[in-house]
Each structure stands twice: as structure tokens, then as C-alpha cells.
């Protein structure tokens, strides 16, 4: 199976990115996507050149950006065609809602982060399903917060809502250092423990993100206008 992972590196260094790619190859990932903060959009050309230089035949690489604030999200939406993946790091209720309402957003990562509730309800789930926004579960954030009360049950609740209202789910490592990368089977196992079926868990660690990236690559073409609308030459 062609597993897909999302990595959030701390630095934009060629050596660091090569090490990530080599580790991903060891774990058997087929594709990885590097996610950078919204500020790094100015360094887009540098990121692209580093990824092209460190291209590997076995592991395909993509890049994207994440937003933590509403301002950053609005800025990234305007420049959406320039990169492969747009992630919103959840936590703030307004930001969670905005992410669910926006079809340019690909993943809403950990909406329950730093909250006492799950950060999502049935309305958010319906909106997200309508706008093709995925629920992302990051293993790194899970490990940093699982000791706190109700965190695991909130994640399980979000998975339940996502399943019920047809929202897609993705399981990612969210590693910022090489030591935080994990085996894809442990992501699948985590999904199974949190209430997913084995087939669903496997798909959420592989096919879901691949489909999103394929759709986003179509968006980059000049013929693309909106989802389902394209300019066709006679």
C-alpha cells in the first residue's frame, strides 16, 4: 500500500529535508508532504528548488502551508493555486468553522487541540463534508496531549461525527523532527483504536491524501476554474 505522510519541519534546510525523505523511505512511505508556516510563503521558490534537488525516485514529495490564525488563512486562500496542500491547525472555534466552510482548505488538523470540548459538532461536520475538508489527526499532537482528561474521547467523538456525516479522515504523523517520524502501521493502529474500521484506517493513511493531492494538482492548471468546471479546447 502506498502510504502518505504529512511532515511539519522546523527548518527549511536541504540536509534536513533529505534526512526526512530517507527516513520516509525506510518506513515505506510512497509520498510525503512538507507543510510550512504561512509566513514561509515568501520562500516558496526556495522550498520548490530544495524539493526538486532532493527528489527521490521512491518517495514523491509535495509541499503546502498551514494557518493558525484567521489572517493567515485568508492570505493563503488568495494564493491557493501556488501550492499543493492547505492545512488549518484547529483549536480556535471561529477558525475551525471558517476551515469547514472553505472549500480551498484541505485538512482541518486536530480541531480539539487545547480545548476542553471536541472543537467540532454535527454542523461543522456537515459543512466540512460538503466542502471536501478532511479531519486530520496528528500523532504528534495526540502524544503531547493524551495524558490530559477527555482528549482521547474528544478525538473519538470527532471521528464518530466525521464517519456519520461523510467527512473524510486522515491520519498523519505531523513530525517536526526526524525522531518523531513513525511507521505507517502505527498510524493505522491508532485509527483502529480510536474507532475506525481497519479498511477505513488504512485508506485514511494512504488513499485519502493521495486523492486530495491529485485534485489539487488539477487546480494548478490554468484551465481549471472551479470544482467540476474546466475550460475545454475544441
Partner 1 sequence: MKRLKILPLSLRGKKRYVKVVCRELLPQNFEISVSNSFKKLFGMLGFSFAKIKIVYKKEREIIFKCSHEYVPYLIVAICIASFGTKTFPKIRGISGSIKKLKAK
Min CB(93)–partner 1 separation in Å: 28
| Rounded CA separation 22/177 (Å) | 13
Instruction: Report the relative pairing of strands 229-230 and 224-226 from DSSP bridges.
Output: antiparallel
Min CB(75)–partner 1 separation in Å: 33
| Rounded CA separation 119/116 (Å) | 8
Min CB(174)–partner 1 separation in Å: 12
User: Between 23 and 61, whose beta carbon lies closer to partner 1?
Assistant: 23
User: Between 22 and 48, whose beta carbon lies closer to partner 1?
Assistant: 22
User: Between 96 and 173, whose beta carbon lies closer to partner 1?
Assistant: 173
Q: Which strands sit side by side in the sheet containing 85-89, from one edge to the other?
A: 3-7, 29-37, 60-67, 85-89, 107-109, 134-138, 169-172
**Residue numbers of the site for partner 1 (CB under 8 A)?**
23, 26-28, 139, 143, 146, 177-183, 185-186, 188-190, 192-193
In this structure, the number of other CB atoms found within 10 A of the CB of residue 213 comes to: 19
Min CB(86)–partner 1 separation in Å: 27
User: Between 101 and 180, whose beta carbon lies closer to partner 1?
Assistant: 180
Instruction: Choose among 129, 170, 162, 159: nearest CA to 35.
Output: 170
Amino acid at each position: 500500500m502506498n502510504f502518505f505522510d504529512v511532515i511539519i519541519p522546523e527548518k527549511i534546510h536541504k540536509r534536513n529535508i533529505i534526512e526526512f525523505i530517507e527516513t520516509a523511505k525506510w518506513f515505506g512511505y510512497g509520498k510525503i508532504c512538507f507543510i510550512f508556516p504561512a509566513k514561509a510563503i515568501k520562500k516558496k521558490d526556495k522550498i520548490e528548488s530544495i524539493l526538486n534537488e532532493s527528489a527521490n525516485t521512491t518517495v514523491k514529495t509535495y509541499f503546502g502551508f498551514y494557518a493558525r490564525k484567521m489572517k493567515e488563512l485568508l492570505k493563503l486562500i488568495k494564493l491557493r493555486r501556488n501550492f499543493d496542500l492547505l492545512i488549518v491547525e484547529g483549536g480556535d472555534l471561529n477558525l475551525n468553522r471558517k476551515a469547514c466552510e472553505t472549500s480551498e482548505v484541505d485538512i482541518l488538523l486536530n480541531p480539539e487541540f487545547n480545548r476542553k470540548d471536541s472543537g467540532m459538532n454535527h454542523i461543522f461536520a456537515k459543512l466540512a463534508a460538503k466542502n471536501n475538508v478532511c479531519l486530520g489527526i496528528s500523532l504528534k499532537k495526540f502524544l503531547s496531549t493524551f495524558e490530559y482528561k477527555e482528549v482521547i474521547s474528544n478525538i473519538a467523538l470527532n471521528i464518530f461525527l466525521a464517519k456519520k456525516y461523510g467527512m473524510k479522515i486522515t491520519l498523519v504523523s505531523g513530525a517536526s523532527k526526524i525522531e518523531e517520524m513513525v511507521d505507517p502501521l502505527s498510524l493505522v493502529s491508532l485509527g483502529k483504536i480510536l474507532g475506525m474500521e481497519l479498511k477505513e484506517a488504512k485508506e485514511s493513511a494512504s488513499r485519502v491524501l493521495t486523492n486530495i493531492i491529485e485534485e489539487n494538482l488539477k487546480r494548478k492548471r490554468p484551465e481549471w476554474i472551479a470544482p467540476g468546471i474546466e475550460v475545454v479546447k475544441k
